[in-house]
A and B are shown apart, each in its own frame.
Chain A
Amino acid sequence: MDYMQPDAFDTASSQNAGQAAGVGSADLENMSLNVTGPLVKVDDPPKFELESYIANYTGRTRFNRLFLIGTCSTYLSVEALKAAVAEAKSGRDVTRYERAVRALAEVTPNDPEAIPDTNWADRMKKSVKAETDRLEHELRGYKNNLIKESIRMGNEDLGQHYSQIGDLSSASKAFQRMRDFCTTPTHIASMLLKIINLSIERGDWLNVQSNVIRLRNLQSKQEEQAKNQPKMSAALGLSQLHSGSYLDAANSFLGTDPSLGDSYNEVLTSNDVAVYGGLCALASMDRNDLQRRVLDNNSFRNFLELEPQIRRAISFFCNSKFRPCLEILEAYQADYLLDVHLQRHVHTLYSRIRTKSIQQYLLPYSRVTLESMTKMFAPAASALPTNTTSPFVQELIGLIQDGTLDARIDLEKNVLVTNQVHLRKEVQESIINNLEEYTREAHLRVLRANIIQAGLEVRADDRKPSREERKPHDDRGKASEGGLWNVFSRASGV
């Protein structure tokens, strides 16, 4: 009888489920998508044009985004991967070049670009090695001279170099080492920003949060602070998005200053802020808050103008037109699935928005026909008969059973009936329950006090040895079970 086995199996299966669904909270091991294999395959053509999309970004995120699109989208894979190969070759990171070429070879094995350029790779490796040695040597020299500013710059150069060649952990170590040699707040701010960017790329979201807080608490000039604010909010929002706290993420994105512009292109664009913020808000806020804090928010309006479909979706939701809202979101699903940060969260966000729409839709009714609800929320299934087999009804059942919907399904008349609340009855019942609970708890505690006072605690037995000798076999068996000394004697079964 192995009772552990089912448990072990459960944990394993739940892990798999978590991975397959691609949702869940911050999972640092799997977070950087460019390390693990693609989780999602997107077959629909996205609405954006790759060329102009990627032109918005600079730095290492370009490659990460291209690579993700190339591995996930079947429609754009060749184009994106070729761009990724070119992007990698223009940089100095040999491993990512190799990875891109390998991925391309999987898609189009016969393409001339799918053959790795070993010549270039060898050359680059050598030059990288020489550069690393040179920088480290220089840094050692600075350290001997004990000039703080030089040491700081030497570390900065080294970090920059490491991050270029893709050795992110060494890069972050090099940046951390700058801390002791920073003399002005400006230096500290720039160091922290570098660490934040690096942590975002590594997917170390806890580190992002702690460094953002450090940056915020930094005493620096007003204008400096104002300059860093948008980046800070955006980075904080990203980390909150990845840890699954969507309301916080929405607040951070909503608080991002529109002066962000394209100054943070090495991580995200203003368009991204609009999309992330809009979706998080839609998934986590109620209609009042959405209207007041998103649509009527003057500074966030600047972002929303870049992504009009998000604004439309939110205003549809606020006006209780759920069908068009959901339609817009469905139309853009492919785009969002190809976003490096949003991919893992699209499904969770969408299902939350959907659940909220169903809840909001039900509010004014006391009973709704299942037919009209199907039309609203699952038009594809409206041709099917509404019985327990239809997926929409199954979804409703799920929602009712986990307590999200306070309603019941009437399969005779095919309606959804909202539950009537009898306040008086509820109050009375809760009073009785509380009373019972309290009495029981008090009884337990009084008994405990009195038992101790009477000296009747359970203690290792001090029975006469003679009795133990009489049933030595029995007692030993009990003792081996878990240090039990006492014999349960007279209980008869019920």
Chain B
Amino acid sequence: MAELLSHVTSVSSRLRSVDKISDDRYDCQLRDLVTYIKQSDKNFDSEYLLNNLNPSHHTLSYLLMLNFKIKYLQNKRRTVLPEELKPGNDLWVKAVLFFRTFDPIQVRYAGGEWRQLIEIIGQAAEATAKPFLAVQVIRDAMLRLDPSSGILTSVHIIFLRLSLLSRSYSYALPVIGKPVIWFPTGSVQAYKKYIEQPLCSELVSMDSLLSDSFGFSAKLTYRDHTQYFLYGAMVYMALKEWDKSLHWLSIVISSPVNDSVSKIMVEAYKKWVLVSLLGHGKLVTAPKIISSHVLKVFQSLAKPYLSLSEAFERNDLQRLRLEADVGQSIWRHDNNEGLVSQLFHAHKSFLFLKLGRTFSALTAADVAQQAFTPLDSSSKIEEFVAALVMSGSLRATLVHLHGRGNGTMLHFSRLPEPYITRERCMRTQLAKEGRALEIITNGADQCSNELMMGNENLQLVSKNQKWPDTLGKDGCNIIGEADGGGYEIDEDIMGDNSK
């Protein structure tokens, strides 16, 4: 057993940094280790090994051992979730320890096992009705593996689902705060084979591990990515971050479609209508990239929502109430009851914002008259305004008048905040936006490179190359040829016409 242990611990991330082993050699060592463990006798005492391995130094061995152990127990107990895996028990603790400390380089050699472990942890937490326990663990594991979190994996979806189930919305923020840009692809682009980099190299970014073959993600379908963005939007909805929620929903409703629209997109559109009312007080224009026929399908399927939004936009409280009542069963069926019920409060606050643009001061009685609604007594209005001011969405002050009756005067201030605070706030905001922009621009650049070097484009270029043989052009620079190839097509077409 000790021999096995020494073998298994021969590769260590700590030794690597001390000995400065070259990437190639480290790569070989890791690959050998994987094959060794996988081929070795399954009857070793994994308990002993697990206790003696350090998950941060011997990540790979630890992960594989843990997986053997779980499989062994599953087979023995004839159940998917053995008792030991339940939260608080031995294996659960080990798994949690592993996810907190694993080495993100070594784990690249066992992506599939890594993902299986997360899946089983999630299942275990859900089965014992404690999804919250898994949320934090999975989040830490995801961020440890890929701090930029720019690739959508099946783990993302499991994670968001669990955090929705456990209502731990703010725990999801570190993950969904980072924009997803990439999706795992089924096929490896051919050109990548020519850029040989050992898997363990620091230079290999997570983007190169996109393809399914590394196993970090189960095979995704369109349902998964639309679902992920819908879940994310729902997290933001729960936190009342309407702007972000709206953006995530826009992603869902603008997903490219081949022939039919998916039900997830329709649900997202319904929520999108409500969220845009809640966040902006009006129906914002849909993203331009949605094709018109898709939009038409949405609109015809979300009629009740649209008529609700019309009532909202027209400041017609009576009709809004009526519509909300009439569609009660629809909202309930679509699980949108909560959002609809928030519309009334939003409607009132937008009314006050509008008043603030029209008046600089007016009495509570005037407010009641202006609001076109029997907003009840002026004391209720006062309460409502006070709540709005305290929540920071309205900049106003309330003054009790002593001289003339006992009315209340509402002052809307337009004074800017002190110069220093405003500037500082602005600077941080600009910096934040700048970072977001940088991430997106990098993503876009990379995407265009990817497309340029992609299999389809290369095939097209090489096909075009065969035509003008006489020109005697031989390739030395792929990108240059891509441009040249396009040009030659033009020439050829002209030539055909002249014949």
Segment at the interface with A among B28-36, B113-121, B359-367, B383-391: B359-367
Q: Which residue of B lies closest to A478 (CB)?
A: B263
Segment at the interface with A among B95-103, B226-234, B475-483, B489-497: B226-234
CB contacts (< 8 Å) of B363 on chain A: these are 411-412
Contact (Cβ within 8 A) A494 B237: yes
Contact (Cβ within 8 A) A3 B304: yes
CB contacts (< 8 Å) of B49 on chain A: these are none
Question: Pick the contact of A455 from B185, B230, B267 — CB < 8 Å?
Answer: B185
Contact (Cβ within 8 A) A490 B222: no
A488 and B267 in contact, given A447-B180, A456-B222 (Cβ under 8 angstroms)? yes
Any chain A CB within 8 A of the CB of B301? Answer: yes
Any chain A CB within 8 A of the CB of B436? Answer: yes
Cα A283 to Cα B268 in complex, Å, equals: 47
Any chain B CB within 8 A of the CB of A467? Answer: no
Any chain A CB within 8 A of the CB of B437? Answer: yes
Contact (Cβ within 8 A) A454 B256: no
Cα A432 to Cα B366 in complex, Å, equals: 35
Segment at the interface with A among B63-71, B80-88, B446-454, B460-468: B446-454
Contact (Cβ within 8 A) B256 A397: no
**Residue from B238, B256, B259 whose CB has the most chain A CB atoms within 10 Å:** B256
> Chain B nearest CB: distance from A460 CB in Å?
5
CB interface residues, A 437-494, toward B, < 8 Å? 438-460, 478, 481-494
> Chain A nearest CB: distance from B401 CB in Å?
9
Contact (Cβ within 8 A) A435 B255: no
Q: Which residue of B lies closest to A409 (CB)?
A: B359
Cα A492 to Cα B167 in complex, Å, equals: 11
Contact (Cβ within 8 A) A446 B181: yes
Contact (Cβ within 8 A) A458 B262: yes
Any chain B CB within 8 A of the CB of A408? Answer: yes
Q: Which residue of B lies closest to A438 (CB)?
A: B437
Contact (Cβ within 8 A) B227 A444: no
Question: Pick the contact of A420 from B180, B300, B414 — CB < 8 Å?
Answer: B414
Question: Pick the contact of A452 from B256, B327, B370 — CB < 8 Å?
Answer: B256
Any chain B CB within 8 A of the CB of A147? Answer: no
> Chain B nearest CB: distance from A254 CB in Å?
37
Contact (Cβ within 8 A) B359 A459: no
Segment at the interface with A among B51-59, B138-146, B333-341: B333-341
Any chain A CB within 8 A of the CB of B129? Answer: no
Q: Which residue of A lies closest to B366 (CB)?
A: A388
CB contacts (< 8 Å) of B226 on chain A: these are 458
Contact (Cβ within 8 A) A457 B335: no
CB contacts (< 8 Å) of A413 on chain B: these are 361
CB interface residues, B 284-298, toward A, < 8 Å? 287, 289, 297
CB contacts (< 8 Å) of A385 on chain B: these are none
Contact (Cβ within 8 A) B182 A450: yes
Any chain B CB within 8 A of the CB of A108? Answer: no
A486 and B289 in contact, given A451-B256, A454-B184 (Cβ under 8 angstroms)? no
Cα A417 to Cα B414 in complex, Å, equals: 11
Contact (Cβ within 8 A) A459 B260: yes
Question: Pick the contact of A388 from B263, B369, B416 — CB < 8 Å?
Answer: B369
**Residue from A408, A431, A494 whose CB has the most chain B CB atoms within 10 Å:** A494
A443 and B440 in contact, given A460-B258, A491-B335 (Cβ under 8 angstroms)? yes
Q: Mark B425-454, 1 if CB is under 8 A from A, else 0.
A: 010011001101100110110010011001
CB contacts (< 8 Å) of A50 on chain B: these are none
A484 and B263 in contact, given A425-B416, A492-B164 (Cβ under 8 angstroms)? yes
Q: Which residue of A lies closest to B229 (CB)?
A: A447
**Residue from B251, B263, B363 whose CB has the most chain A CB atoms within 10 Å:** B263
Any chain B CB within 8 A of the CB of A436? Answer: yes
Q: Which residue of A lies closest to B450 (CB)?
A: A453
Q: Mark B217-246, 1 if CB is under 8 A from A, else 0.
A: 000111101110011001001100000000
- Interface size of B in residues (CB-CB distance below 8 Å): 89
CB contacts (< 8 Å) of B327 on chain A: these are 1
Contact (Cβ within 8 A) B230 A435: no
Q: How large is the interface on A (under 10, 10 to 19, 20 to 34, 35 or more residues)?
A: 35 or more
Any chain A CB within 8 A of the CB of B394? Answer: no
Any chain B CB within 8 A of the CB of A410? Answer: yes
Q: Which residue of A lies closest to B417 (CB)?
A: A425
Contact (Cβ within 8 A) A444 B289: yes
Q: Which residue of B lies closest to A448 (CB)?
A: B256
Any chain A CB within 8 A of the CB of B261? Answer: yes
Any chain B CB within 8 A of the CB of A28? Answer: no
CB interface residues, B 163-184, toward A, < 8 Å? 164-165, 179-184
Any chain B CB within 8 A of the CB of A331? Answer: no
Contact (Cβ within 8 A) A388 B370: yes
Any chain A CB within 8 A of the CB of B198? Answer: no
A456 and B221 in contact, given A411-B362, A443-B179 (Cβ under 8 angstroms)? yes
Question: Pick the contact of A444 from B184, B251, B310, B430 — CB < 8 Å?
Answer: B251
Q: Which residue of B lies closest to A389 (CB)?
A: B369
Q: Which residue of B lies closest to A4 (CB)?
A: B303
CB contacts (< 8 Å) of A428 on chain B: these are 426, 430
Any chain B CB within 8 A of the CB of A422? Answer: yes
Any chain B CB within 8 A of the CB of A419? Answer: yes
Contact (Cβ within 8 A) A449 B447: yes
A442 and B441 in contact, given A420-B414, A432-B429, A435-B433 (Cβ under 8 angstroms)? yes
Cα A492 to Cα B183 in complex, Å, equals: 24
**Residue from A420, A431, A449, A454 whose CB has the most chain B CB atoms within 10 Å:** A454
> Chain A nearest CB: distance from B168 CB in Å?
14
CB contacts (< 8 Å) of A483 on chain B: these are 260
Contact (Cβ within 8 A) B258 A435: no
Contact (Cβ within 8 A) B430 A456: no
Cα A422 to Cα B423 in complex, Å, equals: 13
Q: Which residue of A lies closest to B401 (CB)?
A: A412
CB contacts (< 8 Å) of B335 on chain A: these are 491-494
> Chain B nearest CB: distance from A470 CB in Å?
17
Cα A371 to Cα B139 in complex, Å, equals: 64
Cα A467 to Cα B276 in complex, Å, equals: 36
Cα A429 to Cα B434 in complex, Å, equals: 14
A450 and B181 in contact, given A455-B186, A494-B335 (Cβ under 8 angstroms)? yes
Contact (Cβ within 8 A) B358 A491: no
Q: Which residue of B lies closest to A405 (CB)?
A: B358
Binding site for B on A (CB under 8 A): 1, 3, 6, 387-389, 397, 400-401, 408-413, 417, 419-420, 422, 425, 428, 431-432, 435-436, 438-460, 478, 481-494
Closest 9 CB pairs of A and B: A493-B335, A459-B258, A454-B183, A488-B263, A411-B362, A435-B433, A412-B361, A408-B360, A458-B257
Interchain residue pairs with CB less than 8 A apart (18)? A397-B370, A411-B363, A432-B429, A435-B437, A443-B443, A444-B289, A448-B256, A453-B450, A453-B454, A457-B222, A457-B256, A484-B261, A484-B263, A485-B260, A486-B223, A488-B264, A493-B335, A494-B338
Binding site for A on B (CB under 8 A): 161, 164-165, 179-186, 220-223, 225-227, 230-231, 234, 237-238, 247, 250-251, 254-267, 287, 289, 297, 300-301, 303-304, 307, 310, 319, 326-327, 335-339, 354, 357-363, 366, 369-370, 409, 411-412, 414, 416, 422, 426, 429-430, 433-434, 436-437, 440-441, 443-444, 447, 450-451, 454
- Contacts A408-B360, A443-B443, A486-B260 known; list 9 others, CB within 8 Å: A431-B430, A439-B440, A442-B444, A444-B289, A446-B447, A451-B222, A454-B183, A458-B256, A493-B335
